[in-house]
Amino acid sequence: MVLALVVVPLVMAVVTFALPSKHWRPRMLPLVGLAHLAMTVKVLGDPGPSPAGRWLVLDPPGRLVLLLVSILFLVCSFYCVGYLSYRVERANRRFCSSLLALLAMMSLVAASHHLGLMWVAMEATTLLTAPLIYFNRTARSIEATWKYLLVGSVGIALALFGSFLLAYSSLEAGLDSSLLFEDLIRHAPRLSTAWLKAGFVLLLIGYGTKVGLAPMHTWKPDAYGEAPGVVGAVLAGGLSSCAFLALLRAHHILVAAGEGAYSGRMLVSLGLLSMGFAAVFLVGQRDLKRMLAYSSVEHMGILALGTGVGGAALSGALLHLFNHGLTKTILFLSAANIHRAFGGKTLDEVRGALRRLPLTGGLFLFGFLAITGSPPFAPFLSELTILRGLVGAERYGLGAAMLALVFVAFVGMGRTSLAALAGEPSPEAKRGRYRDGWLTFAPAAALAVAVTVLGVYVPAPLRRLVLEAARYLGVEP
């Protein structure tokens, strides 16, 4: 069944590419999304034996990321049906098939228990995302695509080199070389410390580039800003989570080797740096999508900070990984609707979004309040858990820095968001044909309900997934 999570979307990507009807291709996305979520729920209940042996194993962190990816893809797939009905001027063959293949590769990242196989899956996501970013076929979108490919390829090449160094750490210690996570964790105390640390540094820079940690985040504002909003949702909620899973696994090996303090310090440093970069660029930001890109940099920094400190803060980071993915998808889908209605995404073009699109405008306001950590929404609960973990670990300075940077980000996002939502739309915007539709509003609205519920109550299955992942990574919450 684990293998089917990869094979089924891949096969359907080929089928979708071969379909001659532009009308039916988008409708394949929710069908596959429903099937994938059903398989995911079954696998989480009982994964069964894997035909790939120890290469495909759903460890607890992988289970959490797989569930998030499957939910977000299903939501975005329904949105795509409505979105592509407005984009009849664009061919959707590559768009739809690339999305399905991307789902397969993200599932493969979640299930990969071999460092090399995980690297192949991450590299495949880079190649598959490029045609999605270029969908609008403008000069700025092709520039963003090439920037994404170049920066991402450098990062993924460094991650490959880091994987080689981890393998060499086994040889240096007189052990058989293996890139299976199970073997690396079991033999971690005997691995060569010097090569292990060098490998982690390269993995942190390489996969940190895909995550979007500063200063490796330079591709993110361009790619998120020029890609369709639904692609930004997949990148920010799904692909970034998969890349962060790769970092979690690398950190896990260092923890097992007794070098968790070393990797933790590096994660904390990059986490604070990312939050600082994001806070600076969020203040005065006038582009809605680029604002969301810098918000993603901020939240990836929060995840790195919680992971680096460990303990209860790591449990909060794992919960925040899930909550951030849901909330950021609401914002990107809402921003996509605003972009369609106003024909732009900057404050020079967007005014009075609440009057022009009452439903979407309300969702964007909801998303802004939720993502900035306002109660009683899900990100508030997970950020509070991280903060409590910092206080419990007596890292008071880190807690104060986190609160200060979150506040600056709130102010920066608030100025931009409220300026776009308030006021009276221009006469040109009022005359636009786009209106809130069922398929372009309901998917994000469903996530808004989930984010509200998760802010006051974490269901037992999700709580169990988070706690199991924390214990697996060496934490007793």
In a domain, residue 355? The reply is: yes
In a domain, residue 340? The reply is: yes
State residue 453's pLDDT score: 97
In a domain, residue 130? The reply is: no
CA 51 to chain centre: 28
In a domain, residue 365? The reply is: yes
Name 44's Cβ contacts closer than 8 Å, sequence gap at least 6. 58, 63, 66, 67, 461, 465
Region 104-116: mean pLDDT is 95
- CA pair distance 252, 250, nearest whole angstrom: 5
Region 2-6: mean pLDDT is 92
Burial class (CB in 10 A: 0-12, 13-18, 19+), 70: buried
Computed over every residue of the chain, the mean pLDDT equals 93
Q: What is the pLDDT of residues 134-187, one digit of tens each?
A: 999 999 999 999 999 999 999 999 999 999 998 888 877 677 778 899 889 988
Q: What is the pLDDT of residues 183-201, one digit of tens each?
A: 899 888 998 899 999 999 9
In a domain, residue 149? The reply is: no
The pTM (predicted TM-score) of the whole model is 0.95
In a domain, residue 109? The reply is: no
* Domain span holding position 361: 260-477
Q: What is the pLDDT of residues 294-326, one digit of tens each?
A: 999 999 999 999 999 999 999 999 999 999 999
Count up the domains in the chain and report the number: 1
3 within 8 A of 117, measured Cβ to Cβ: no
In a domain, residue 187? The reply is: no
Q: Is the pLDDT of residue 108 over 60?
A: yes
In a domain, residue 53? The reply is: no
- CA pair distance 383, 322, nearest whole angstrom: 12
State residue 292's pLDDT score: 97
CA nearest neighbour of 474 among 161, 170, 59: 59
State residue 342's pLDDT score: 92
